């Protein structure tokens, strides 16, 4: 089985639009949206027959006002400045609480409860291109890395069960916790960048991250015609670092128009931009050794 | 006044808006890049960096000669950063959140404080504009502790109290984004009039609304997509503070690493009006008001 992950470093370079198009072009596979924080793939895939599973992860500290004698120990031991000690009662900011349990442990009155935290949901659905696993973190919640890991684990198990040999995933932006969780052990990372200084800068950082975890990389330059000098620079970077340049895609409003219609670009139009996307996918399949 | 430029979806133009606002801001200002995973603001403001300091987290180092394998540390640790398999105790520093619980709970004083470098904090200035950024080390998963360190350093800057602050936040709506938005006076949500832009704008509003900070929307690439973002803003009484038209020339300006408000008088006027509206919004406190 192979796992292909689409990432970008910088957000908004076109990861999701391209992942959706690749899902349209790929042979039968399991599709996965690993951007659990701000997932958008479902807006093009319209998942149905969804099985919902609640996601609990970590704990949160909650003061039991009956037992609290307002001694202030909890706010002293909290390294995250999550507890404000007032002359009435301490208050815990749920947004700042990391769920470390230190206040619970050291409270002399046993006045802090530590329930499990409901952080979101994950879904197993059907789409017109096959099965899809996706999730939604509750806005403002944490533990996105664990939710990403859980989705991947389930996607791989489901692919195995269905005798499918490809898991195609749309990744989160950035280089931190959820990206690392999406990336480790994957077979190929396709980095979608754009011909801008931010696109180039962020692509270089996420490429370094892939190299750090020894993940093979290919690069797609989106909006390549916005700045030819930047495109040339990215080309040079790929040659210098021995990275496969999968495709150069021009800026095309058809991608946005397809999105408004809830379609992939390859469904929306037959040729032009779509031809380049099809060629890119053929290259990706070859690189992942799954064609 | 502390203004944070955020968005659910990546690539909507947070950095573009931050850099342009900084460039037209009439009173003294500090620009802060809190997108520590993929910082880009420096690519546009081109500050002279005058100081760089590594930021780190306190992690446990075990003195095995003192450890009696009582397991108090491993039982408290919520992040699986310490494991005891008597007669071996192992730490996994990359899992540590720096809560300090193990140092406190160890009855033998067998845990010393070590450090894990998270990345760098950088200070500088671009002309009159103060500049501060964090840059996460590639391979490091945790951005929130580095962001907290950048914010701490911001509070320590002598001019912090007297100058306005414009913060470029990371994308998304989970812990890093929430960390950036916390304790600010105005939240600007940058979006685009597309299905992805709308969905992620809703997530961002849901995540941030509980803070009670005044919020306003900036619509980038106005003219593409559809009108649903406008309808949503009307229904939820989110004021639209500015619209930046979709224009290939703007995209090209950005792709050359230039600040769009400095490229053309019309765009400059959009940002001047925006900065006035922000000042007005900050006076409205938590009541919805016409701006």
Rounded Cα distance, B82 and B102, in Å = 9
Per the listing, tokens 């021009």 go with: A250
**pLDDT at residue A72, rounded to an integer:** 94
Tokens in use for A200?
């180039």
**Residue B290 near residue B39 (C-beta atoms within 8 A):** no
Q: CB-side exposure of B245: number of CA atoms within 13 Å?
A: 9
A146 shares contact with chain B (CB less than 8 Å): no
A121 shares contact with chain B (CB less than 8 Å): no
A225 to chain B, closest Cα gap in Å:
9
Rounded Cα distance, A194 and A205, in Å = 14
Contacts with B274 (C-beta within 8 Å, 6 or more apart), sequence order: B21, B218, B241, B242
Per-position b or e across B91-108, b if 16+ CB within 10 A of its CB: beeebbbbbbbbbebbee
B208 shares contact with chain A (CB less than 8 Å): yes
Average pLDDT taken over every residue of chain B: 95
Nearest CA in chain A to B201: A38
pLDDT in tens, B125-169: 999 999 999 999 999 999 999 999 999 999 999 888 899 999 999
pLDDT in tens, B43-97: 999 999 999 999 999 999 999 999 999 999 999 999 999 999 888 999 999 999 9
CB-closest option in A43, A99, A209 to B78: A99
Tokens in use for A291?
């064609």
pLDDT in tens, B179-204: 999 999 999 999 999 999 999 999 99
Nearest CA in chain A to B145: A80
Could B206 and A37 be called an inter-chain contact, meaning their C-beta atoms sit closer than 8 Å?
no
Rounded Cα distance, A125 and A90, in Å = 44
Q: Is it the case that residue B290 has pLDDT exceeding 60?
A: no
pLDDT in tens, A161-220: 999 999 999 999 999 999 999 999 999 999 999 999 999 999 999 999 999 999 999 999
Could A38 and B254 be called an inter-chain contact, meaning their C-beta atoms sit closer than 8 Å?
no
For β-strands A217-222 and A188-194, DSSP reports them as: parallel
CB-closest option in A10, A38, A175 to B8: A38
Residues of A in contact with B38 (CB under 8 A): 9-10, 173-175, 198, 201-202, 205-206
- Closest to A172 (Cα-Cα) out of A154, A155, A147, A198: A147
- What proportion of chain B, given as a percentage, has pLDDT over 90? 92
Could B178 and A262 be called an inter-chain contact, meaning their C-beta atoms sit closer than 8 Å?
no
- Strand-pair partners of A91: A84
**pLDDT at residue B96, rounded to an integer:** 97
Per DSSP, the residues of A76-107 read HH-TTS-EE--SS--EE-TTT-----HHHHH-
Element at A207 (helix H, strand E): helix A197-212
Low-confidence spans in chain A with pLDDT less than 50: 291
pTM, two decimals, is 0.95
Rounded Cα distance, A257 and A43, in Å = 13
Residues of A in contact with B79 (CB under 8 A): 100
**pLDDT at residue A211, rounded to an integer:** 97
Contacts with A21 (C-beta within 8 Å, 6 or more apart), sequence order: A264, A265, A266, A274, A277, A281
**Residue A291 near residue A285 (C-beta atoms within 8 A):** yes
Tokens in use for A66?
């009956």
3-state secondary structure of A52: strand
Per the listing, tokens 């620009």 go with: B31
What's the helix, strand, coil split of chain A in %, to 5?
35, 25, 40
Contacts with B45 (C-beta within 8 Å, 6 or more apart), sequence order: B19, B22, B31, B126, B129, B131, B259
3-state secondary structure of B182: coil
A141 shares contact with chain B (CB less than 8 Å): yes
Rounded Cα distance, B191 and B13, in Å = 8
Q: Is it the case that residue B12 has pLDDT exceeding 80?
A: yes
pLDDT in tens, B223-248: 999 999 999 999 999 999 999 999 99
A139 shares contact with chain B (CB less than 8 Å): yes
Rounded Cα distance, A163 and A69, in Å = 59
Residues of B in contact with A260 (CB under 8 A): 194-195, 225-226
**pLDDT at residue B289, rounded to an integer:** 52
Residue B137, Cβ density class (10 Å: 0-12 exposed, 13-18 middle, ≥19 buried): middle
**pLDDT at residue B285, rounded to an integer:** 59
Nearest CA in chain A to B255: A196
Nearest CA in chain A to B182: A95
A108 shares contact with chain B (CB less than 8 Å): no
- Residue B224 is given by DSSP the state B
B232 shares contact with chain A (CB less than 8 Å): no
**pLDDT at residue A289, rounded to an integer:** 84
Contacts with A225 (C-beta within 8 Å, 6 or more apart), sequence order: A195, A231, A250, A251
Enumerate residues 61 to 80 of chain A having a beta carbon within 8 A of any beta carbon in chain B: 77, 79-80
Domains of chain A by range and CATH? 2-56+120-288 (3.40.50.300), 61-114 (3.30.70.20)
A262 shares contact with chain B (CB less than 8 Å): yes
**pLDDT at residue B278, rounded to an integer:** 96
- How high is the ipTM of this complex? 0.95
Element at A149 (helix H, strand E): helix A144-161
Enumerate residues 28 to 67 of chain A having a beta carbon within 8 A of any beta carbon in chain B: 37-38, 40, 43, 58-59
Tokens in use for B190?
């940058």
Tokens in use for A250?
């021009």
- Closest to B201 (Cα-Cα) out of B217, B212, B213, B185: B217
Indicate the angle between helix axes A15-25 and A273-287, nearest 10 degrees.
80
């Amino acid at each position: 089985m192979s796992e292909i992950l689409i990432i970008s470093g910088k957000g908004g370079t076109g990861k999701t639009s391209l992942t959706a198009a690749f899902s349209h072009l790929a042979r039968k596979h399991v599709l996965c949206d690993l951007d659990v924080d701000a997932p958008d793939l479902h807006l093009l895939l319209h998942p149905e027959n969804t099985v919902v599973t609640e996601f609990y992860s970590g704990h949160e500290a909650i003061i039991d006002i009956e037992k609290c004698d307002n001694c202030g120990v909890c706010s002293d031991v909290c390294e995250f400045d999550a507890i404000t000690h007032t002359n009435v009662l301490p208050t815990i900011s749920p947004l700042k609480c990391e769920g470390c349990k230190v206040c619970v442990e050291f409270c002399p009155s046993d006045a802090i409860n530590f329930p499990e935290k409901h952080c979101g949901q994950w879904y197993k659905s059907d789409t017109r291109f096959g099965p899809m696993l996706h999730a939604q973190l509750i806005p403002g919640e944490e533990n996105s890395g664990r939710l990403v890991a859980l989705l991947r684990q389930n996607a791989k198990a489901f692919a195995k069960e269905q005798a499918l040999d490809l898991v195609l995933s749309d990744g989160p932006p950035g280089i931190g916790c959820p990206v690392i969780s999406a990336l480790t052990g994957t077979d190929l990372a396709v980095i979608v960048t754009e011909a801008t200084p931010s696109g180039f800068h962020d692509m270089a950082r996420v490429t370094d991250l892939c190299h750090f975890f020894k993940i093979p990389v290919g690069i797609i330059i989106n909006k390549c015609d916005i700045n030819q000098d930047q495109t040339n620079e990215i080309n040079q970077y790929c040659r210098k670092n021995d990275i496969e340049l999968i495709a150069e895609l021009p800026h095309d409003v058809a991608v946005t128009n397809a999105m408004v219609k809830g379609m992939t670009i390859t469904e929306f139009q037959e040729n032009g931009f779509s031809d380049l996307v099809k060629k890119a996918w053929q290259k990706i399949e070859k690189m992942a050794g799954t064609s | 006044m502390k203004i944070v430029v955020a968005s659910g979806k990546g690539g909507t133009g947070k950095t573009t808006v931050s850099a342009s606002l900084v460039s037209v801001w009439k009173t003294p200002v500090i620009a802060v890049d809190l997108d520590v995973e993929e910082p880009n603001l420096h690519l546009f403001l081109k500050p002279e960096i005058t100081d760089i300091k590594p930021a780190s987290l306190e992690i446990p180092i075990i003195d095995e000669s003192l450890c009696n394998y009582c397991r108090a540390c491993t039982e408290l640790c919520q992040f699986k950063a310490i494991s005891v398999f008597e007669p071996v105790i192992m730490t996994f520093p990359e899992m540590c959140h720096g809560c300090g619980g193990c140092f406190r709970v160890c009855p033998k004083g067998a845990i010393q404080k070590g450090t894990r470098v998270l990345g760098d904090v950088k200070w500088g200035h671009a002309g009159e504009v103060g500049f501060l950024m964090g840059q996460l080390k590639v391979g490091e998963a945790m951005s929130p502790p580095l962001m907290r360190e950048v914010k701490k350093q911001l509070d320590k800057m002598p001019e912090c109290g007297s100058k306005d602050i414009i913060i470029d936040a990371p994308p998304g709506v989970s812990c890093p984004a929430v960390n950036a938005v916390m304790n600010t006076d105005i939240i600007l949500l940058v979006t685009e009039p597309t299905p992805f832009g709308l969905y992620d704008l809703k997530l961002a509003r849901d995540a941030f609304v509980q803070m009670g900070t005044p919020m306003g929307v900036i619509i980038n690439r106005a003219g593409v997509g559809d009108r649903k973002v406008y309808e949503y803003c009307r229904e939820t009484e989110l004021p639209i503070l500015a619209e930046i038209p979709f224009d290939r020339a703007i995209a090209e300006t950005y792709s050359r690493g230039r600040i769009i408000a400095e490229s053309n008088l019309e765009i400059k006027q959009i940002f001047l009006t925006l900065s006035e509206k922000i000042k007005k919004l900050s006076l409205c406190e938590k009541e919805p008001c016409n701006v």
